[in-house]
Structure formats: C-alpha cells, structure tokens
Amino acid sequence: MPRPALLSSVALCAMGACLAACLDATHDDQVAALGGEAPGVPRGPEHRPGQPCLVCHGGLGPASATFSLGGTVYAVIGQTAPAVGAQVQIEDINGVAFLSPTNAAGNFYVTTNQWQPTFPIKMQVTLGGSTEQMLTAAGRDGSCAACHQASVGPSSPGPVYVATTASQLLGDGGTSE
C-alpha cells in the first residue's frame, strides 16, 4: 500500500508543475495590454505592426509560431508608412549574421527554427539608397518594440525608421512627393 507522505509529495509536485505551466499572470497581462486586432487586418505576418512580437510569439503563446526576433520598420521618420521590402541585417555576438526582409506592413521576424542568435545583437536596415544602423546593441529582448515604442521618451528611442526624408529612399538624391 502506498505511503500517504509519498502520495502527498507526488500530488504537490504535479499540482505545482501544472500551475507553473498554466498560469503566468504577468504574461497574460502583457497579452491583454496589446488589445484586439485592428479591424480588417487578419492574424498573420502583417498584423500588429509596432507591437512587441515576442509577447505572443516568444514561446508562452497565444501564437503557435515562436520567434527569436521580430519588429516593424517604417520608411520615413515621423511617418507611419511601412518600409516595404527593407532588408534587416542582424548580427549576433558570435559574428553570425541573418538577413530578414520586411513585408507589406513593415514587419520582419525570425523564427526559432530559422535562427537563434546569441545576444547581444547588432542590427541595421536598408531600403533603396538608405541604410540605418542601430547605435547600441540589443542585449536581451528579441521584440524590437520592447524598446522602440510609438513615442520617443526616457525608455524609448521611438519607432525604427530607415530614412529621415523620402528622397533618401530613392538612392539618387532625387525628390519624391
């Protein structure tokens, strides 16, 4: 006959494992703070530009795809037009580099199956005739929007842009409308 103390220990361990796996109030709060989906934008690679991708895609869900990095790039500083077709180059501390294109929303992402960089990482983005390099290394978070929030402030340099003027994107110094 099993001993009661042994059964209690096993039951407590099982209950603790279930609680640890099922409950993460902080994560649930982070997901809830993102709000609902934008009207007319289906879930997928082009949803939620400017939001911290790894809140949902960091392994705790609710998204099924897991990213090691993800973010949004805008074309011109102070504007909301996405940098469609930009190339985001990421290099980790070991010198391993990865190139990820932005999509129609300006979003880019790297799945954990594609690459898992060793932090800190350096990044640069190129579109047309413009290249912008991040001046500091990202030390730990693969969500660009964890630091690059919508507004410039004490804890954020603001969104990621590839050019300061639209003419920079042309690559020939010309003007654009």
93-149 per-position pLDDT tens digit: 999 999 999 999 999 999 999 999 999 999 999 999 899 999 999 987 898 988 898
Beta bridge partners of 57: none
Alpha helices in 43-141 (DSSP H): 54-57
In the chain, domain spans: 1-33, 44-170
Q: Hey, what are 171's tokens?
A: 């690559």
Instruction: Report the pLDDT value the prediction gives residue 1, as an integer from 0 to 100.
Output: 55
At residue 19, the pLDDT reads 46
User: What pLDDT is stored for residue 18 in this prediction?
Assistant: 47
Decide the pairing of beta strands 87-92 and 97-101.
Answer: antiparallel
Residue 161 pLDDT level (bands cut at 50, 70, 90): very high
| DSSP letter (8 states) at residue 150 | S
- Whether residue 131 contacts residue 99, with contact meaning beta carbons closer than 8 Å, is answered with no
Q: Rounded to a whole number, what is the largest CA-CA distance in the chain?
A: 86
pLDDT for 176: 40
Give CB contacts under 8 A, 24+ apart, made by 40-49.
45/103, 45/105, 45/107, 45/109, 46/103, 46/104, 46/105, 46/107, 47/105, 48/107, 49/82, 49/105, 49/106, 49/107
pLDDT value at residue 120: 97
Which pLDDT score, from 0 to 100, does residue 21 have?
Answer: 47
Q: Evaluate if residue 55 carries a pLDDT over 90.
A: yes
